[in-house]
Structure 1
Amino acid sequence: MAARRPGSPSTGSVVPIDCGFTKTDLALANLPGHDDFDPSHHPFSEDELKPQPIVKKSRKQFVPNELKDDKYWARRQKNNIAAKRSREVRRVKENQIVLRASYLEKENIALREEVHKLQQENDMLRKRLHDYEP
């Protein structure tokens, strides 16, 4: 994976970024059946990155055995499935954010190194130019 240099000519120069993500890492950042998460190209909206408010759980209400009919158990099963799905989606989103942050940190380091290298080259060329000026 690589990051384009802003303002670079259309030659397509890039700074190579070696993330070192394993297939397992990427699999943990995808929902089953969706293998399209790429940490180098996945922007998150501000809303996705905002901390979620802590919702205080309501106290569990005890349901007497005589009220636990088929309708009750169907609702419980449906709720358990929804809760499991919600936890899985949250876990995947957290994994995606972790991978994206890791990628961006590595990209930032590579870009800083590239800037430093270009500054040194610029200084050297300025010195050469100064040496040839009358």
Structure 2
Amino acid sequence: MLGSVSPSANGIIDQFVPHELKDDKYWARRRKNNMAAKRSRDARRLKENQIAMRANFLEKENNALTAELQKAQAVMESLKKRLAMYEAV
């Protein structure tokens, strides 16, 4: 018997390869797969870092804009009160 066959999480059938069948071609495929998996992990990590940096930037910008809005609203309220004093006269 060559080995057991079991479906993986993504639906691809994984086959166990007995030690005696692990030739140079097998190891070349393993190296290629390992490099591809590393590139994929690195790309995902980079994308996650970029998203985190963007979120941090947007959060700071949001805080600054909120403070600016509050300041503008305070000025507006002050001007409304001054205008109300002149309208009452």
How high is the TM-score relative to the length of structure 1? 0.53
Q: 1:111 aligns with which of 62, 65, 79?
A: 65
Q: Does 1:79 align with 2:51?
A: no
Structure 2 residue identity aligned to 1:116: Q
Aligned-residue CA RMSD (Å) = 2.0
User: Who is 1:7 aligned against?
Assistant: none
Deviates more, 1:58-67 or 1:107-116: 58-67
The structure number with the bigger radius of gyration is 2
Counterparts of 1:64 and 1:130, CA distance in 2? 89
1:14-60 superposed Cα distances (whole Å, 9 cap, x missing partner): xxxxxxxxxxxxxxxxxxxxxxxxxxxxxxxxxxxxxxxxx936786
Distance 2:14 2:61 in 1: 47
**1:94 match:** 48
Report the Cα distance in structure 2 between the residues aligned to 1:61 and 1:102, rounded to whole angstroms: 44
Q: Write the distance in 1 (CA, Å) between the matches of 2:46 and 2:56.
A: 15
More helix by share: 2
- Kindly report which structure 2 residues correspond to 1:26-45, keeping only aligned pairs within 5 A, or say none: none
Q: Which has the higher contact order (CA 8 A, sep 6+)?
A: 1
Q: Secondary structure at the match of 2:9?
A: coil
Counting matched residue pairs gives 80
Percent of residue pairs identical: 61
- TM-score, structure 2 as length reference: 0.76
Q: What whole-Å deviation, never above 9, does each CA across 1:93-125 have from its counterpart, x for those lacking one?
A: 111111111111111111111111000001111
Unaligned runs of 5+ in 1: 1-54
